[in-house]
Chains A and B, each alone.
Chain A
Amino acid sequence: DVKVTQSSRYLVKRTGEKVFLECVQDMDHENMFWYRQDPGLGLRLIYFSYDVKMKEKGDIPEGYSVSREKKERFSLILESASTNQTSMYLCASAAGGSYEQYFGPGTRLTVT
């Protein structure tokens, strides 16, 4: 069974802290994605990766960076967390060329 796991379901951080969100998939997928989900704004793509060590900016990359050192793991980094980064963060993976993305359960991050 396909599985995408995220390191935390809930996270509370202080303004200015460096935050790491981790995502692991067990399907040997080439592509991995980070989204944030906010009410009324839908799912917005932050970054995606189509191969190990390869990354591309999505629609809202400002304030974020990513790392993909291994095929199964894709990390989202908030260099200096700010209150406007309080959100639900969703990770997804997909096989090359497929329109089907498999999502993790999400991490609800609160920055105070």
Chain B
Amino acid sequence: QQQVKQSPQSLIVQKGGISIINCAYENTAFDYFPWYQQFPGKGPALLIAIRPDVSEKKEGRFTISFNKSAKQFSLHIMDSQPGDSATYFCAARYTGTASKLTFGTGTRLQVTL
């Protein structure tokens, strides 16, 4: 059973637009919510992460919005660029289990010129 549900499966955005990827979780025993970015032929790499007691975290053009009561969080990519074209995974870390994560199913983002 998928612990973290991610949508959409794919997304096409024009250059300069805003890309939005959504995730929802059910288990409350998570204590960190990271996002990973994966380029073709590479392994995923950490992009940005948020704790559940924070409603928003911004790093450059990337922002995570977190809604604890709704058990939802989302990644916003402002001023999307062709170089942002990649697959994005949301994830959640199980509390008290060291580094164990559960991942969403991924969103393939394509930014067009």
Where the two chains meet, the residues of A that have a C-beta atom closer than 8 Å to any C-beta of B are 4, 30-31, 33, 35, 40-45, 48, 50, 59, 90, 92, 94-106
Where the two chains meet, the residues of B that have a C-beta atom closer than 8 Å to any C-beta of A are 6, 9, 32, 34, 41-46, 49, 89, 91, 93, 98-106
A92 & B43 in contact (Cβ 8 Å cutoff):
yes
B32 & A99 in contact (Cβ 8 Å cutoff):
yes
C-alpha gap A94/B9 in the complex (Å)? 27
- Supply 14 A–B pairs (Cβ within 8 Å), ascending by A: A31-B100, A40-B105, A42-B104, A43-B103, A45-B101, A59-B102, A99-B32, A99-B34, A99-B91, A100-B46, A100-B99, A103-B42, A103-B44, A105-B43
B99 & A94 in contact (Cβ 8 Å cutoff):
yes
- Chain A nearest CB: distance from B23 CB in Å? 11
Given contacts A42-B106, A99-B49, A99-B93, contact A104 B99 (CB under 8 A): no
A42 & B6 in contact (Cβ 8 Å cutoff):
yes
Given contacts A42-B6, A90-B43, A106-B43, contact A101 B106 (CB under 8 A): no
Which residues on the B side are within 8 Å of A42 (C-beta)? 6, 89, 103-106
Which residues on the B side are within 8 Å of A102 (C-beta)? 45
**Which of A30, A103, A105 is in CB contact (< 8 Å) with B98?**
A30
Given contacts A30-B98, A42-B6, A45-B100, contact A101 B46 (CB under 8 A): yes
C-alpha gap A92/B42 in the complex (Å)? 12
Which residues on the A side are within 8 Å of B41 (C-beta)? 105
10 closest A-B pairs by beta carbon, nearest first, are A103-B43, A94-B99, A42-B105, A43-B103, A99-B32, A99-B93, A31-B99, A100-B46, A42-B106, A42-B103
